[in-house]
Structure 1
């Protein structure tokens, strides 16, 4: 990308209050039928406009047309029974009622391609679209058919690859795979997780990103983080594997975390999307704080490979807070750009 330090959000933005309950994850829709379709399209327009107004260089959908970053995609697949619910442990962190895989999974039609085409028509800036990663998908289901996490993940990778290729054809420039499970199931990441992720990205000309965070700023996640000790070193296990992979860019959490910034050195040569906005704290960062977070990474990543971003999605935050955080990300990045250019 020609611009230095291109900025973007990572995932979700808060939805308008007329579409879903504010500051609530996975809120039911407030509209139905044709009104819901129109409302989601309107929210997509608003999200694009808010990002452009904040000055972000890369535009994303803010997940305005989906209730959940994983299950909305799964809803469109065959082989999954949403009426048959089971309680499972999500990422070894909290219990949730999830749908059940009852047969071979398949994708009968595109899921997000129409939404991507709508967003493409709204902006001439680079466009990024996030998909759930295969390992995170299997962690959000009960499997009553395959009996193998790896086998089910490989099936999902093939489905994701179909979707990603069609998103690329619709004009998406950057395809992001969200894999928070990569911070939890480290043995699986080593044995098959990275390979399966590469299968999801196979053959894409678009830039590919894997986003690995410590989760939304919700209590289950903050409680888990409190158990991780004075340093969070999960990335130490995954970064060397990703450095050797075909994935172009690695997205990670930094601001407000206990991740030692020197771990980014393990990605040397890869593009790094660095989280400089803490989504677990409603306080809006100052531009100087953003610049400080980004500057600290320049010892371990070249400036032309650094992408300022948020740590994770901002759906649980107030819209005004998310808007302020986007503006802070841009302002802080501009401070660092001025330093690097000597102006």
Structure 2
């Protein structure tokens, strides 16, 4: 990406009301069959246009063709029974009724390849595609077959790698793996979480990203955040391990969070997607607030490695709020770009002395 501070979203954007009930996760589709397929494509085009109008540099599908960032991928796999459901505690935070792994998991055909090719055909700019990470997939299921979170994660990692290679072939520039579970299961991250993520990105030549956040702006997540104290230091556990991994970009939550910004120092050398937009609030940030978050981050990440983004997906937000937040993200990034350009153009006293001496 040649532009300084290229902006992007972490993932989902709100769906139009004619496609699914707005401001809701796992919202059922309002139509079916060919009409649903066409409507999903229409929503993808609309989402792309809204990102472009807002000035977002690295665009995505806005996850318009999926009900949920994890389960839609799992729906396409064999070995998982969506009729046989169990209640589990997801991310140690909230209970949910989830499908059951009843046999060997396998991907019998591509899941997102056709959608990715469609998005690629609509724009010449860089595109990013999000996939669920292996650990987060494991944490969103009841496993009655492998009876081992690690074994199931390795199976998912191999499946994700197949999918990612096809997305790369479809022209995707950045493939992002969503791993909110990394902020919860620290021992597992060390034991096999990073290793299975490395398996998922194996052999890819496009850029890869891992998105680790504190979750959508839903009540279960905001309640959990309220218990985390004055400093959220979860990243301290996992960043040193990610710093030595093969992942190119690390996406994290910063704005309106209690994450100490200096933790970014632990992933020095990586590109960093800095969450400068709060997805747990309907209040639209000002461009100056976004710029303030980016300026703080620049103390710990070089300008050519800073990618302004949203904290997480925005599917549960009203559409007009999401639009406003995207515009604020772009405008805030532009403020800081201009500041960086001005600082670069301004000769320092030291440079002046050197040129004087040379003359």
Match of 2:239 in 1: 239
Which stretches in structure 1 are left out of the alignment for 5+ residues? none
Match of 1:288 in 2: 288
- Residue in 2 that maps onto 1:33: 33
- Partner residue, 2:50: 50
Q: TM-score scaled to structure 1, two decimals?
A: 0.99
Aligned to 1:159: 159
Structure-2 residue corresponding to 1:327: 327
Which protein has the larger Cα radius of gyration, Structure 1 or Structure 2?
Answer: 2
Q: Which runs of 4 or more aligned residues in structure 1 lie more than 3 Å from their structure 2 counterparts after TM superposition?
A: none
Matches within 5 A, 1:60-79: 60-79=60-79
Q: Which residue of 1 aligns with 2:128?
A: 128
Matches within 5 A, 1:240-319: 240-319=240-319
1:194 is paired with a residue of what secondary structure?
Answer: helix
Taking structure 2 as the reference length, what is the TM-score of the superposition?
A: 0.95
- Equivalents in 2 of 1:109, 1:33: separation in Å? 19
Deviation per CA, 1:175-226, whole angstroms, max 9, x where unpaired? 0000000000000001110011000000001100000000000000000000
* Root mean square deviation of aligned Cα: 0.6
Match of 2:183 in 1: 183
CA deviations on 1:25-84 (whole Å, 9 max, x unpaired) are 111000111110010000000011100110111010110000000000000000000110
Pairing 1:104–2:104 present = yes
Deviation of residue 22 (structure 1)?
1.1
SS at match of 1:196: helix
Q: Which residue of 2 aligns with 1:200?
A: 200
1:213-241, Cα deviation, whole Å (9 max, x unpaired): 00000000000000111000000000000
In 2, the alpha carbon distance for the partners of 1:192 and 1:81 equals 25
Give the distance between the partners of 1:29 and 1:263, measured in 2 at CA. 40
Partner of 1:173: 173
The alignment covers a number of residue pairs equal to: 343
**What secondary structure does 2:87 align onto?**
strand
Structure 2 distance, partners of 1:16, 1:299, is: 39
SS in 2 for 1:161: helix
Partner SS, residue 194 of structure 2: helix
